Structure 1
Amino acid sequence: MPNGIELNQHFPDITISNQWFERAKAIQKPVTQTLAKGPGQFTKGVAPKYLQKGRGSHVWDADGNEYIDYNAAIGPVSLGYCYPVVDEAIKAQLENGISFSLMHPLEVELSELIQEVIPNAEAVKIAKTGADVCSAAVRVARAFTGREKIFCCGYHGWHDWYIGITSRNAGIPESTQHMTYTFEYNDIESIKAALDEDVAAIILEPFIFEAPHPTFLQELAEVCRENGTLLIFDEMWTGFRIALGGAQAYFDVKPDLAVYSKACANGMPIALLTGRADVMELFNKEVFSYTTFGGETLSLAACIATIKELRDKNVPAYLAEKGQILQDGYNQIAREFGLDMFTKCIGYPCRSMVTFLPDAGNSLELKTLMQQEMIKRGVLWAGFHNMCFSHTDDDIQYTLQAYHDVMPLIKEAILSKNVQALLKGEVLEAVFRKTSNYNIKPALQKA
């Protein structure tokens, strides 16, 4: 019988998941379309590899095992799986068609709605993926400024201008690799020292888990203005979660350009670029950025329905409230077991993360142990609390009880310094993200 949301006596049977995986390995390279969903982030031998369905905040794997899900499809599910209002909007539009030979009125309707809720949205561009709008923003910033260098901080997709500065830059011309530079979050002085007349744009996630210093984003906007450099907020994670208008509304900092995807359509594929009208005007003639499926109507309908629901139900406040209970609860449990110097839940409540500090030992091994034990208890856990509107009080209280039950095992592992002895599967892989070896200094410096 498949496992459910309870303390199961056995780890879930994942036979069917493994069968699909073997078929995938024979034909797919790679087997996953998104690294965060792939087998490297879920311990082999314990975690399922394929999900079959979802409803609300729960998902079922290919073998029928049920879990509370805190991954939210790696961000897009802001309201919940099979959320009725959004699904009905998709079904209604499906009756009239998906893609057409001319533009569709929903493109205008969505753009007007975006302008109402996002502060910097003097103009709106619609695309399909986050990587597309990040690259479009970088391209139009270069065109507008007549400059080429880009400073970045965070994860910005798979296109050459960004991936060229990561460890997986095979196939990207060396000349492209030398056009992008990274900086450490919250280090405004290093940015000031490195900015020169060749920097077209600074693009960053307004926050990931670490909070910005009180004046960091404001100072960043000011130094960009003074240098003639455009400021781009990558709001893939912050948009529509921290506030309806994203981090720019939450922190009251208006960037020149901003990019959104994930939470705005509750799982349907769509991405948005918003910004200054004079910059965005270049897309009309000078800058080319088009895609056949940009006007695909099911995603447009889903996006409109999702944003209206986020607004009308004040969903960001709900995410903050329920996420705070989960975050504070985890940290209280860690203190109760005397582990608060070894593990903490950090970040903003709408999207927090369980971390293991250096003194705890090998963080990936400890994360693997936590994951295997949470999965055994019916929680699909990858270290994050990506909150959605369908997470209930019962979900949260159950999850906290599961943490309470697992914490003695974590304590045993830390004190014994032998986590591997408690593991049933392989250790997780590190998350792929540029987080170190910052190369802020461009080749040319101010005299």
Structure 2
Amino acid sequence: MPNNIGFNTNYPDITESDKLYDRALKVQKPITQTLAKGPGQFTKSIAPKYLVKGKGSHVWDADGNEYIDFNAAIGPLSLGYAYPAVDEAIKRQLEDGITFSLMHPLEVELSELIQEIIPNAEAVKIAKTGADVCSAAIRVARAFTGRDKVFCCGYHGWHDWYIGITSRNAGIPEAIQDMTYTFEYNDIESIKAALDDTVAAIILEPFIFEAPAPGFLQQLAEACKENGTLLIFDEMWTGFRIAIGGAQEYFGVKPDLAVYSKACANGMPIALLTGRADVMELFNSEVFSYTTFGGEALSLAACIATIQELISKNVPKYLDQLGGRLKDGYNQLAIELGMDQYTRCIGFNCRTMVTFTPQAGNGLEVKTLMQQEMIKRGILWAGFHNLSYSHTDEEVDYTLQAYRDVLSIVKEAIESGDIKSYLKGEVLEAVFRKVSNYNIKPKTAVALS
């Protein structure tokens, strides 16, 4: 009988997941379309590999096991799986068609709605993926400024201009790699020292888990303005979660350009670029950035319906309150169980992450053990709490109960000095994100490069 949401006796049976995986190995390279969803991030022989159904905050795998899902499809599910208001909007549009030979009125309706809620949205561009709008923002910034170099901080997709400065840069010409530089978040002085007349844009996630230092974002905006550099906010995670208008609304800082995708359409594929009218005007003539499916109407309908629900239900406030209970509850448990030297939960309440200190030992082994035991208890766990409007107080209570049970096991494993002996499956793989050795150059070095 499949596992349910409960303190199950056995780890879930994942026979059907494994059968699908064996078939996929013969025909797919890579095996996953999204790295964070792939088997390297979920311990093999314990975690499911394929999900077939979702409702609210719960998902069911290919073997029928049920879980509370704190991954939210790696971000897009701001309201929850199969959310009625969004699904009905999709169904209504489906009756009239999906993609057309001319523009669709929903493109205008969505853009007007975005202009009402996003502070910098003098103009709006619609696309399909986050990587697309990040690259469009970089291209138009280069065109507008007549400069080439980009400073970045965070994760900005798979396209050449960004991925060239990471450890997965095979296939990217060195000339392209040499035009992008990374900087350390909150280090305003190093950014000011490096800015010169070759820097087209600074792009960053307004926050990931660490909060901006007082005045950091404001000083960054001012430094960019003084240097003639465009400031771009990558709001894939912050948009529509920290506030309806994203981080720029929450912190009162208006970037020149901003990009959005996760959360705004509750799982449907759409991305948005907003910004200054004079910059965005270049898309009408000099800068090319188009896609066949940019005006796909099901996603437009879903995006409008999702944003309306986010506004009417004040979802950011709900996520803040519920996420605060979960984060604070975890940290209180860690103290109570004598685990606070090993672990804590960090981040803004709408999206938090469980972290482990060096004192805990091998971080990937500890995370694997935590995941293994949370999955046994009916929680699809990858270290994050990506909350949706469908998560409930009761589910937070249950999750904290599970954490109490699991943290005791993790503590025993850490103090035994042999965490690996507690594992039933393989250790998780390291998550790829950005390079850790910041390569921003001081002004003199930039001038010589």
TM-score for both structures, normalised by structure 2: 0.99
Residue 312 of structure 1 is matched in structure 2 by: 312
CA distance in 2, matches of 1:152, 1:417: 39
Counterpart of 2:82, as a letter, is: C
- The residue aligned with 1:342 is 342
Aligned match of 1:66: 66
Q: What letter matches 1:445 in structure 2?
A: A
Q: Is the 8 A contact 1:151 1:181 kept in 2?
A: yes
Q: Equivalent residue for 2:447?
A: 445
Aligned to 2:297: 297
Whether the aligned pair in 2 keeps the contact of 1:53 and 1:61 (CA below 8 Å) is yes
Please state whether the residue corresponding to 2:446 is helix, strand or coil: coil
What is the rounded CA distance, in whole Å, between the counterparts of 2:392 and 2:288 in structure 1? 45
Per the alignment, residue 269 of structure 2 pairs with 269
Secondary structure class of the residue paired with 1:3: coil
Deviations 1:340-399 (A, max 9, x none): 121000000100000001111111110000000000000000000000000011111000
Alignment partners' CA distance in 2, 1:289 and 1:395 = 43
| Contact 1:268–1:299 (CA under 8 A) maintained in structure 2 | yes
Gaps of 5+ in 1: none
> Between the two proteins, what is the percent identity of the paired residues?
79
Pair 1:180–1:243, CA change in 2 (3 A): same
Q: Which residue of 2 aligns with 1:226?
A: 226
* Letter paired with 2:371: Q
Distance 2:232 2:162 in 1: 14
CA distance in 1, matches of 2:225, 2:117: 24
Q: Aligned partner of 1:398: which letter?
A: Y
1:206-249 per-position Cα deviation (integer Å, ceiling 9, x unaligned): 00000110111001000000000000000000000000000000
Amino acid across the alignment from 1:21: Y
8 Å CA contact 1:360, 1:414 repeated in 2: yes
Tell me if structure 1 keeps the 8 A contact 2:99–2:297. Answer: yes
Per-residue CA deviations over 1:256-310 (Å, capped at 9, x if unaligned) read 0000001000000000000000000000000000000000000000000000000
Report the AA paired with residue 301 of structure 2.
A
Runs of 4+ in 1 over 4 A off after TM superposition: none
Secondary structure at 2:286 match in 1: coil
Counterpart mapping for 1:98-137 below 5 A: 98-137=98-137
CA distance in structure 2 between the aligned counterparts of 1:343 and 1:204, rounded to whole angstroms: 27
SS in 2 for 1:319: helix
The question of 1:419 aligning with 2:422 is answered no
Aligned to 1:207: 207
Q: Cα RMSD over matched residues?
A: 1.0
Corresponding position: 1:382 with 2:382: yes
String of CA shifts for 1:154-182, please: whole Å, max 9, x gaps. 00000000000011111111100000000
Counterpart of 2:289, as a letter, is S
CA shift, 1:418, in A, is 1.1
Please say if residues 194 and 445 of structure 1, whose CA atoms lie closer than 8 Å, have aligned partners that are also in contact. Answer: no
Residues 405-431 of structure 1, C-alpha deviations (whole Å, 9 max, x = no match): 111111111211211010001110111
Give the Cα separation in 2 of the matches to 1:358 and 1:152: 27
SS at match of 1:402: helix
1:172 aligns to what?
A: 172
Checking the alignment, whether the CA contact within 8 Å between 2:371 and 2:381 is kept in structure 1 is yes
TM-score (normalised: structure 1):
0.99
User: Is contact 1:134-1:157 (8 Å) kept?
Assistant: yes
- What's the secondary structure of 2:273's corresponding residue? strand
List runs of 5+ in structure 2 lacking aligned partners.
none
Asked if structure 1 preserves the Cα contact closer than 8 Å seen for 2:240 and 2:316, the reply is yes
1: CA distance between counterparts of 2:108 and 2:276?
Answer: 18
> 2:191 maps to which residue?
191
Tell me, yes or no, if the aligned pair for 1:122 and 1:277 is still in contact at 8 Å.
yes
Distance 1:309 1:133 in 2: 24
1:136–1:289 contact (8 Å) kept in structure 2: yes
Q: Would the aligned equivalents of 1:413 and 1:422 in 2 still touch at CA under 8 Å?
A: yes
Distance in 2 between residues matched to 1:313 and 1:337, nearest whole Å: 36
Structure 2 residue aligned with 1:90:
90
Q: CA 1:446 to 1:31, structure 2 compared with 1: closer, same or farther past 3 Å?
A: closer
In structure 1, C-alpha distance between the alignment counterparts of 2:431 and 2:28, rounded to whole Å: 21
Tell me if structure 2 keeps the 8 A contact 1:196–1:446: no
For residues 362 and 417 of structure 1, the distance between their equivalents in structure 2, rounded to whole angstroms, comes to: 10
- In the TM superposition, residue 445 of structure 1 has moved relative to its aligned partner by 3.2
Count of aligned residue pairs for this structure pair: 447
CA shift for structure 1 position 446: 8.7
Encode CA deviations 1:70-123: one digit per residue, 9 max, x unaligned.
000000000000000000000000000000000000000000000011000000
- Return the alpha-carbon distance in structure 2 between the equivalents of residues 169 and 377 of structure 1: 39
Q: In structure 2, give the amino acid aligned to 1:214.
A: P
CA distance in 1 between partners of 2:39 and 2:305 (Å): 33
432-441 or 239-248, which deviates more: 432-441
Counterpart Cα distance in 2 of 1:382 and 1:295: 33
Aligned 8 A contact 1:154 1:435 in 2: no
